[in-house]
């Protein structure tokens, strides 16, 4: 089944897609029925359909409480490091960072250039969405905790990202402006025919202004989604609505990887349209627009000369 969140006739609704018609689901938000999507979908399909999908504005399938973005494609990591090789620690565990859940937008929403950035990039990824709470899961257990899959575009301000990560933290503002999800959430049974050795063999394609700039297979991930969920749950909880993204695919899954291999593709500019297609899931298409100006902040206040950590005389009294 394919579930969408959409805006129609002044209302936000959840629906299950059937022959391009949306059957409204009895839920205020998709996150409310993630623990049993098949039952919610079957009930909706027993009732008359709502609008045609072309008549609605598709929103992000859900607003996640947390976003974890992994880096599971070896080719992508290698390309991003411009010949420096893949760090040995990368092979030890499926590393991730936490993204900004407030930055999640719909599959066709415009993306403003982040304030202060001149090097905007897309990232072609697929995300799993958690449907049931779990902790310290094994990969075998984790499979039953995945409610579905969706396309994930991790928009990245590469110039901001490079500068801030020199501090040893981050990414922060380099990844903070927008994350696209959509067009719908596809339940695991829909993708089972693509499963090979625990991985999903889905074709991935990235286009900029109609020109293909990247393509890969999702099965080139070095960890399965179940292994990623198990790692994320180690010592903590995963809960319904949590989004766990695959990380950027290889072979042109983002512009920075192409730059790392010597390509001359220009950074994204207002007016550029990025279209990402994932076999078995769908397509999202986003246009870059001008962003807001930077509201400046002062630089750091430096310690005064002779500063030490001793208490003043007054503090001893």
Nearest Cα neighbor of 282 from 107, 55, 146 is 107
* Per-residue exposure over 283-308, b if at least 16 CB sit within 10 Å of its own CB, e if not: ebebbbeebeeeeeeeeeeeeeeeee
**Whole-structure pTM value:** 0.95
Residues in the chain: 317
The answer for 136, left when phi > 0, alpha when psi is -120 to 50, beta otherwise, is: left
Contact 122, 158 (CB under 8 A): no
Which tokens in the block code for residue 160?
A: 């901001």
Specify the 3-state DSSP secondary structure of 232: helix
In the CATH scheme, what architecture does the domain 67-289 have?
Alpha-Beta Complex (3.90)
DSSP sequence for 181-223: EEEEEEPHHHHGGGEETTEE--EEEEEETTEEEEEEEGGG-SS
DSSP sequence for 146-162: EEEEEEEEE-EEHHHHH
pLDDT at 312: 56
Which tokens in the block code for residue 162?
A: 């490079």
Residues of the chain scoring pLDDT < 70: 310-317
For residue 215, the number of C-alpha atoms closer than 13 Å in the C-beta half-sphere is 5
pLDDT tens profile 103-115: 999 999 999 999 9
pLDDT at 306: 81
Domain ranges of the chain: 2-59, 67-289
Rounded to an integer, what distance in angstroms lies between the CA atom of residue 214 and that of residue 251? 6
DSSP sequence for 42-73: HHHHTS----BGGGSEEE-S---S-EEEE---
Rounded to an integer, what distance in angstroms lies between the CA atom of residue 115 and that of residue 182? 25
pLDDT tens profile 285-312: 999 999 999 999 999 999 988 877 766 5
Which tokens in the block code for residue 203?
A: 């074709």
Rounded to an integer, what distance in angstroms lies between the CA atom of residue 136 and that of residue 138? 7
Beta-carbon contacts of residue 86 (< 8 Å; ≥ 6 apart): 74, 77, 78
């Amino acid at each position: 089944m394919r579930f969408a969140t959409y805006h129609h006739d002044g209302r936000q609704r959840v629906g299950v897609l059937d022959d391009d018609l949306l059957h409204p689901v009895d839920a205020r938000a998709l996150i409310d029925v993630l623990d049993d999507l098949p039952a919610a979908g079957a009930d909706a399909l027993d009732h008359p359909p709502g609008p045609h999908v072309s008549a609605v504005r598709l929103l992000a399938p859900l607003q996640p409480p947390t976003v974890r973005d992994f880096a599971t494609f070896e080719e992508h990591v290698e390309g991003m490091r411009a010949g420096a090789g893949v760090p040995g620690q990368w092979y030890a565990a499926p590393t991730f960072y936490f993204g900004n859940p407030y930055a999640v937008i719909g599959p066709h929403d415009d993306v403003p250039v982040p304030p202060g950035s001149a090097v905007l990039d897309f990232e072609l990824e697929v995300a799993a969405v958690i449907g049931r709470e779990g902790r310290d899961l094994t990969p075998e257990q984790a499979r039953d905790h995945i409610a579905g899959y969706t396309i994930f575009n991790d928009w990245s301000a590469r110039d901001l990202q490079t500068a801030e990560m020199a501090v040893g933290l981050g990414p922060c503002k380099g990844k903070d402006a927008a994350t696209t999800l959509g067009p719908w959430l596809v339940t695991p049974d829909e993708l089972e025919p693509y499963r090979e050795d625990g991985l999903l063999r889905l074709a991935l394609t990235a286009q900029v202004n109609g020109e293909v700039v990247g393509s890969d297979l999702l099965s080139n991930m070095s960890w399965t989604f179940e292994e990623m969920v198990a790692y994320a749950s180690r010592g903590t909880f995963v809960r319904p609505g949590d989004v766990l993204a695959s990380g950027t695919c290889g072979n042109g899954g983002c512009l920075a990887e192409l730059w790392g291999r010597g390509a001359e593709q220009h950074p994204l500019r207002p007016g550029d349209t990025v279209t990402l297609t994932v076999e078995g899931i769908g397509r999202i298409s986003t246009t870059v627009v001008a962003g807001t100006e930077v509201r400046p902040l002062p630089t750091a206040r430096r310690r005064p000369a002779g500063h030490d950590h001793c208490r003043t005389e007054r503090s001893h009294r």
